[in-house]
A and B are shown apart, each in its own frame.
Chain A
Amino acid sequence: AIQMTQSPSSFSAARGDRVTLTCRASQDVTSYLAWYQQKPGEAPKLLIYAASTLQSGVPSRFSGSGSGTNFTLSINCLQSEDFATYYCQQYYSYPPTFGQGTKVDIK
């Protein structure tokens, strides 16, 4: 199975910051990469798929980039509701696999 590694595992940021999260795949997944946001006690929410396509209804301050094995999720002007855990997921090959998550909390 393809292993997905996210970094850092957690970090603190302030409202208004621009943050960049990183996800690395152990093999080439082309652009078959999704990002999810999860808040405590809630289900994950799809933010981005195909590495850079914003899911309907997701604020434009979220953006994704990358291809192959290296991907980033950026959040411009961090809002209160953005403090959460973010997961990447490859769906290039069976089985689909998730990263271990990056928790973004308030500085």
Chain B
Amino acid sequence: EVQLLQSGGGLVQPGESLRLSCAASGFSFSTYAMNWVRQTPGMGLEWVSIVSSSGVSTSYADSVKGRFTISRDNSKNTLYLQMNSLRAEDTAVYYCAKDLSQGSGTYKMDYWGQGTLVTVSS
């Protein structure tokens, strides 16, 4: 059974940093691209970032480019999202999501983590 277990959310002040983790099991983690998607009541679902199966290739939404870094440790079956210079508008529930396709990914997401709330507020 595919499982994605997220951790690392919480309340931070504007300008601070936070790292999200997503521990994967039940599939060959190193074979699939992985995504981060966030959700807010106002903006709905917003794709944030993708990392290729090898970790070499990454892509980001313009709203987070230069502030967020996606990475993965295939030896630990874990995906990360390092979030720096956080802003109030980054407040959202963040989901990690497995890409349906192997390799570099195609942004189709077939399994999702349980979500973790990130709140940026002073």
Contact = CB atoms under 8 A, between A and B. Distances in A.
A44 B112 contact: yes
Interface residues of A, number: 18
A71 interface: no
B106 A91 contact: yes
Interface in A86-107: 87, 89, 91, 94-101
A59 B115 CA distance: 25
B23 interface: no
Interface string A39-50: 000011110010
A94 B57 CA distance: 14
A43 B114 contact: yes
A34 B101 CA distance: 13
B47 interface: yes
B107 A96 contact: yes
B95 to A, nearest CB: 6
A97 B47 contact: yes
Interface residues of B, number: 21
Main SS at interface, chain A: loop
Contacts, number: 44
A98 B113 contact: no
Contact of B61 (A34, A89, A95, A101): A95
A50 to B, nearest CB: 8
A49 B101 CA distance: 12
A74 interface: no
Determine which residue in A94, A96, A100, A101 has the highest number of CB atoms from chain B within 10 A of its CB, and name it. A96
B96 to A, nearest CB: 9
Given A44-B37, A46-B111, A98-B46, 11 more contacts: A34-B109, A46-B109, A49-B108, A87-B44, A87-B45, A89-B107, A91-B107, A95-B47, A96-B47, A96-B107, A101-B45
Interface of A: 34, 43-46, 49, 55, 87, 89, 91, 94-101
Interface of B: 37, 44-47, 59, 61-62, 95, 97, 100, 106-115
